[in-house]
Amino acid sequence: MAIKTRITEMFGIETPIVMGGMTGVGYGELVAAVANAGALGFITAHMFESGQALFDEIEKTRKLTDKPFGVNLTLLPSINPIPYDDYREAIIASGLKIVETAGRAPTDHLPRFKENGVKVIHKCTSVRHSVSAVNKGVDVISIDGFECAGHPGEDDVGLVVLLPATVDALPNTPIIASGGMADGRSLVAALALGADGVNMGTRFCATVEAKIHENVKKKIVENNELDTVLVGRTLRNTARVARNAVSEKVAEIQRDPTKTFEDVKALMAGQRGRDNVLRDGDTDGGIWTSGQSQALIHDIPTCADLVKNIMAQAEAVRKKVAA
Say yes or no: 194 and 243 in one domain. no
- The stretches of 108-244 forming alpha helices (DSSP H) are 110-115, 127-136, 159-169, 184-192, 202-205, 214-222
Average pLDDT over residues 44-49: 96
Are residues 265 and 137 located together in one domain of the fold? no
Please give the residue range of the domain that contains residue 263.
Answer: 228-289
pLDDT level of residue 236 (50, 70, 90 thresholds): confident
Confidence grade of residue 1 (pLDDT, cut at 50, 70, 90) = low
217, part of any domain: no
Residue 70 within any structural domain of the chain: yes
299-319 burial, b for 16+ CB within 10 Å, e for fewer? ebbebbebbeebbebbbebbe
Which amino acid, residue 108? Answer: D
Q: Establish if 140 belongs to a structural domain.
A: yes
The percentage of the chain sitting over the pLDDT mark of 70, rounded to a whole number, equals: 100
Tens of pLDDT along 90-131?
Answer: 999 999 999 999 999 999 999 999 999 999 999 999 999 999
Are residue 232 and residue 315 in the same domain, yes or no?
no
| Whether residue 192 sits in one domain with residue 108 | yes
Spell out a b/e string for 15-29, using b for 16 or more CB atoms within 10 Å of the CB, else e: bbbbbbbbbbbbbbe
Same domain for 25 and 135, yes or no, is yes
pLDDT at 50 over 70: yes
Domain count, the chain: 2
Instruction: Judge whether 150 lies within some domain.
Output: yes
Q: Identify the CATH number of the domain in which residue 134 sits.
A: 3.20.20.70
In a domain, 283, yes or no: yes
Residue 183 shares a structural domain with residue 233: no
pLDDT tens digits, 144-200? 999 999 999 999 999 999 999 999 999 999 999 999 999 999 999 999 999 999 999
How does residue 76 score in pLDDT terms, banded at 50, 70 and 90?
Answer: confident
Indicate if 284 and 147 belong to the same structural domain: no
What contacts 218, CB < 8 A, 6 or more positions away? Answer: 300
250 and 166 inside one domain: no
The chain-wide mean pLDDT, for the chain, equals 96
Give residue 303's pLDDT band: very low, low, confident or very high (50, 70, 90): very high
222, part of any domain? no
pTM over 0.75: yes
